[in-house]
Chains A and B, each alone.
Chain A
Amino acid sequence: MNTFSQFLMQLFNGINSGSIYALIALGYTMVYGIAKLINFAHGDIIMVGAYVCLLSINGGLPLPLAIIASIISCTVLGIMIEKIAYKPLRNASRITLLITAIGISYLLQSSFQLIFSSNSRPFPDIINLPPLIIGDITIAGKYYVTIIISVILMTVLQLFVKKTKTGKAMRAVSEDQGAAMLMGINIDKTIAITFGIGSALAAIAGILYCASYPIVSPYIGAMPGIRAFIAAVLGGIGSIPGAVLGGFVLGIIEALTKAYISSQLSDAIVFSVLILILVFKPSGILGQNAKEKV
């Protein structure tokens, strides 16, 4: 195998993890756009999704049903968290909301640790498709499935936000809540839908993540969660194409640094890229500059 095809393999690795980050980043970015909240609990919803899927498969459900169960339970969980913890604080200061979100994240982690212990469990190999062979590059089945599913979901989401009435309502609420309310948009419902969609995407991302790294523990959400969060900021938090772009950029940078520079320094490099982008373009790659009003 020559260096170029090795490079292509690493690129594919990056696109694979990047597409998972992008799916999670969509949840961060949508919630941020609409509720101005960095939802630190989002990473843990990935973990919940993975656990529900694992338990339903172990309980004997067929894979499609297990995936649907996981999506539904995460959606309900996301909406419930919004109703119980974030809605009463909608007009509170940012920092109060942020700490509540962190509290929810700790709550999910510790309750899952109590129920399922902190030992990690193996995740079954759910995607066993034949690998794709192009020349001397082999792409494992789970990789291209992950990429295809993510791209489909992102396109559907973009169409949903741009074309449907609910999507229009979501954009309106994120632009100006007061004005949206005056136009007769039900803000509570729109915010709940946003949380629901974000959590459903997180559930799918969780299953795909565990298909690539087949281990489930109460703490698996933290790593992809923080990466996806960086991806959302990188692309410009609040912007949906930005989150997708950020996810792929981050995944590729991570894979290439792990392969060619140092696997131990990859975290430091990822965070340094974030710092550099924020320093030179504070609103992210595709983010819009907020005008400062006096």
Chain B
Amino acid sequence: MKKAIYFKKMTITLSGAFIAFVFLSILIKYGIINRYYTGILISFGINVILAVSLNVTTGFLGQLTLGHAGFMAVGAYCAAFISKNLVGLPDVVCFMIALTGGGLMAMLIGALVCLPTLRLKGDYLAIITLAFGEVIKNILLNLSFLGGANGYIGIPRFTDFGWTFWLAVITVLATLSLMRSRFGRVITSIRDDEIASEATGIAISRFKLLAFIFAAFFAGIAGGLYAHYMSIIEPRVFDIDKSIEILVMVVLGGMGNVPGCIIAAGVLTILPEFLRGVDNLRMLLYAIALIVIMLCKYNPNFNRLIHRWRNKLKGADRT
């Protein structure tokens, strides 16, 4: 019975996504959404993949990580390397192989990062993931066959709206259904109480590792999309600021809340674009917004206000 409801929900979501896709594609085809706005939509999709995948480790598993951009970098460089060196195949196949390769490589690096860090938690985990992210960036800066500090250029522009849209949908659905499964319940139990879940016989390390490589895989995919959208990538892009940007999306959207994450990714993609008119104020406004949002989020009076509004809205629905 429950399964039937689940499949019904899934079908509704998928058909909703399909309608949205057809609608947006038509708008793009007839130039109603111009190239600039299409670009914003693509970055939105990439950010959704990044935020939703980070939500698995930070939101559901409850481990604060500051190195997500590092996995993205691995995925981006690996995918770009594959698609540049794989000639003679049709574009679609080549891009598919490149993205999968990027994702798998990020997964491998994710496992390598995760294994020694399994026993760390809290702030120390944040620090060590930050350090890993920086090490990855610095290694990429020194690899001359990947362009080094000058950037890796001449990557074919395979990424378009369709690829980004469907990969984002796949990421969201995969995360949602995974979190509904036994695996999802296990990792949320680790978040809520590690000792208690260990006592009930859960192999904590194994599930932590699985959550990490799941997140790393999708970060790698997002990196691959990014590389084939920009056609030039630099190691500098994937620094700690990028990791923080993704983390902010997760915190803003709500830890362990996938729809919230998608909305936050949208807001944080569109907001900077709107502020482009006041370019020198952009960073300042972003910083103020961050601080104010965090202060409001924890302010009891503000929360009471929101609660009252919500109740009022619900009351209005009933009458």
Contacts and interface: CB of A to CB of B under 8 A. Distances in A.
Interface of A: 32, 36, 38, 85, 88-89, 92, 94-96, 98-100, 102-107, 109-111, 113-114, 230, 233, 237, 262, 264-265, 267-268, 271-272, 274-275, 278-279, 282-283, 292, 294
A103 B294 contact: yes
Given A38-B123, A278-B128, A292-B195, A267 B134 contact: yes
Contacts, number: 117
Nearest to A264: B142
A25 B102 CA distance: 38
B131 interface: yes
Contacts of A279: 116-117, 128
A95 to B, nearest CB: 6
9 closest A-B pairs by beta carbon, nearest first, are: A103-B290, A106-B287, A110-B283, A268-B138, A107-B287, A103-B291, A110-B284, A92-B298, A271-B131
A114 B291 CA distance: 19
Interface stretch (B40-48, B72-80, B225-233, B243-251): B243-251
Contacts of A103: 287-288, 290-291, 294
B252 to A, nearest CB: 9
B132 interface: yes
Given A103-B287, A106-B283, 15 more contacts: A32-B123, A38-B123, A85-B291, A85-B295, A95-B251, A95-B255, A100-B290, A102-B248, A110-B283, A113-B280, A114-B281, A265-B138, A268-B135, A275-B116, A283-B124
Contacts of B287: 103-107, 110
A239 to B, nearest CB: 14
B142 A268 contact: yes
B173 interface: no
B284 A114 contact: yes
Contact-residue bracket for chain B: 35 or more
A126 to B, nearest CB: 30
A72 to B, nearest CB: 24
B122 interface: yes
A273 B29 CA distance: 52
Prevailing SS type, chain A contact patch = helix
A230 B132 CA distance: 13
Contacts of B281: 114
A89 B302 CA distance: 13
B267 to A, nearest CB: 15
A43 B52 CA distance: 30
B297 interface: yes
Contacts of B141: 264
Contacts of A283: 124
B291 A107 contact: yes
Contacts of A92: 294, 297-298
B119 interface: yes
A282 B64 contact: no
A92 B58 CA distance: 16
Nearest to A118: B280
B111 interface: no
22 contacts: A38-B123, A38-B127, A92-B297, A92-B298, A96-B297, A98-B126, A99-B251, A100-B295, A102-B248, A103-B287, A106-B286, A106-B287, A107-B288, A110-B283, A233-B124, A264-B138, A268-B138, A271-B132, A282-B120, A282-B124, A283-B124, A292-B195
